[in-house]
Amino acid sequence: MPQPIFAGIDAIPFQGPESQNPLSFRFYDKNRVVRGKRMEEQLRVAVCYWHTFCGDGKDPFGDATFNRPWQGDGDKLELAKMKAAAAFEFFTKLGNPYYCFHDRDVAPEGKSLAESNDLLDRMVDVLAGLQQKTGVKLLWGTANLFSNPRFMSGASTNPDPEVFAYSAAQVKKALDVTQKLGGENYVLWGGREGYESLLNTDMKRELDQMGRFMNLVCEYKHKIGFKGPLLIEPKPREPTKHQYDYDSAAVYAFFQHYGLSKDDFKVNIENNHATLAGHTFEHEVAYAVANGIFGSIDMNRGDLLLGWDTDQFPNEAGEMALVLRHIVAAGGFTTGGFNFDAKVRRQSIDLADLFHAHIGGMDVLARALLIADKMIADGKLQGAIDARYKGWTGGLGKEILDKKLDLAGISDRVLKGNINPKPRSGQQEMLENLVNRYL
């Protein structure tokens, strides 16, 4: 038996809200049934490989602080194997059912794409074995099309068609291995799909290139019979000043313009990206649900005082309950889940800090799910919204929606019927008080 990497930490138990044990769940009780599904099935929690196992604590001003046992000098493939062993030991002890990765998180990059593919294949065999042994599944895979300098001017939106081709070849391989590992979705994060200045950018051409790229990926997905959706992750800025996938609405417009079907494409919404776009996380989720493009979540939070993507673990159950209300009321996740795209702070250097971060995040989601259940079960919030729009379910409102009246007909109705609408309260404060009662 190899030595455990997280020595001294056992499987994290559920011990209930009164537990004083920091290495226990207080709310995440995976088998507790909430709205007809076990909590584990409702939340579909995934741990991300990149922040949790590749993050080293570097920031723009300082060097690595984490110095994990699987980081440092040595044979890159051996270190990747040790990292995989650490990851699956962590998943098994935490009890998350899923994980996610970029191709370059799990295997080192070679000197050519052929060599990189070969290294990836060798690690995919290792991961397949670990998945088999532990039962942990792949929520989604993706390709890193942003770290290497070749991508500095974008991947599919690059002015150089050779970079487009290289990116396409890399995505083909990443989709192949995601399928091989039973991944339930494939994510296309436009890491550097955007621009810094229009002085050197042909925006129309770049958007057309990205549209062509997405169609190529979609055709290939059908060719190999990959069943899951392709998920595009909106983000308004960072790393480029203007990212093309600004928010869910911009992505949906892109889908429609380039003929990308909702059957194939959905969005992977990230909390901190929503707030960088000037929206609430709740807005982005509600927009995606309303338009039939909701896919999956990257779960993190930003900082009210910092204007960049801080990728922190969630800690506000009340705020998350409002988001879960939309997801659960719409029937919950299908292939998606809650992936913690979050990292521990640079000073959180102990291996145990990785557990504290994920335990806290899972407990916040579990609490939020329980609060959302109460909101949905008593029906008062939805009841207030239904009452507000009641006029559209019959009479005049229904006739307008059913196209029984044209513009002149509506005008006649107003003039002959002497319609003179009276303002009605939106009752926001009353509803805010109602929400507070569920917390």
Single residue of 270, 282, 363, 373 touching Mn ion by CB under 5 A: 270
The catalytic residue among 102, 283, 326, 358 is: 102
| Residue 102 designated active-site | yes
List of residues 6+ apart from 102 with CB closer than 8 A? 49, 50, 141, 142, 143, 144, 174
- 126 vs 223: CA distance, rounded Å: 26
Burial classification of residue 344, based on how many CB atoms lie within 10 Å of its CB (0-12 exposed, 13-18 middle, 19 or more buried): buried
| Residue 326 designated active-site | no
CB 236, min distance to Mn ion, A: 13
CB 121, min distance to Mn ion, A: 26
Amino acid, single-letter form, for residue 432: E
- 269 vs 248: CA distance, rounded Å: 8
The catalytic residue among 51, 103, 105, 373 is: 105
Q: Three-state SS for 99?
A: strand
Cβ proximity to Mn ion, 41 vs 238, nearer residue: 238
* Residues 357-416, interacting with Mn ion (CB under 5 A): none
* HSE (side-chain half, CA atoms, 13 Å) at 318: 8
CB 298, min distance to Mn ion, A: 4
Beta strands in 159-213 (DSSP E): 185-188, 194-195
Q: Which stretch binds Mn ion (CB under 5 A): 249-257, 265-273, 312-320, 407-415?
A: 265-273
Amino acid, single-letter form, for residue 164: F
Count of other CB atoms within 10 angstroms of residue 389: 9
CB 356, min distance to Mn ion, A: 21
Q: Three-state SS for 185?
A: strand
Instruction: Supply the DSSP symbol for 417.
Output: T
* Residues 19-58, interacting with Mn ion (CB under 5 A): none
- CB burial readout 96-115, b (16+ within 10 A) else e: bbbbbbbbbbbbebeeeeee
Q: Which stretch binds Mn ion (CB under 5 A): 284-292, 319-327, 337-345, 360-368?
A: 337-345
* Residues 182-241, interacting with Mn ion (CB under 5 A): none
* Residues 282-311, interacting with Mn ion (CB under 5 A): 298
Cβ proximity to Mn ion, 25 vs 313, nearer residue: 313
Find out whether 370 and 34 touch, Cβ atoms under 8 Å: yes
Cβ proximity to Mn ion, 176 vs 341, nearer residue: 341
Cβ proximity to Mn ion, 193 vs 341, nearer residue: 341
* HSE (side-chain half, CA atoms, 13 Å) at 18: 0
Element (H, E) at 298: strand 294-298
Q: Which stretch binds Mn ion (CB under 5 A): 241-249, 335-343, 362-370, 374-382?
A: 335-343
Burial classification of residue 209, based on how many CB atoms lie within 10 Å of its CB (0-12 exposed, 13-18 middle, 19 or more buried): buried
Does 105 bind Mn ion (CB under 5 A)? Our answer is no
Contacts with Mn ion: how many residues (CB under 5 A)? 3
- 390 vs 378: CA distance, rounded Å: 19
CB 341, min distance to Mn ion, A: 4
Does 89 bind Mn ion (CB under 5 A)? Our answer is no
Structure tokens at 368: 């939020």
- 320 vs 179: CA distance, rounded Å: 31
Cβ proximity to Mn ion, 89 vs 270, nearer residue: 270
CB 51, min distance to Mn ion, A: 9
Residue with tokens 């949906």: 252
Does 341 bind Mn ion (CB under 5 A)? Our answer is yes
Judged by the rule CB under 5 A, the positions of this chain that interact with Mn ion are 270, 298, 341
Catalytic amino acids?
Answer: 102, 105
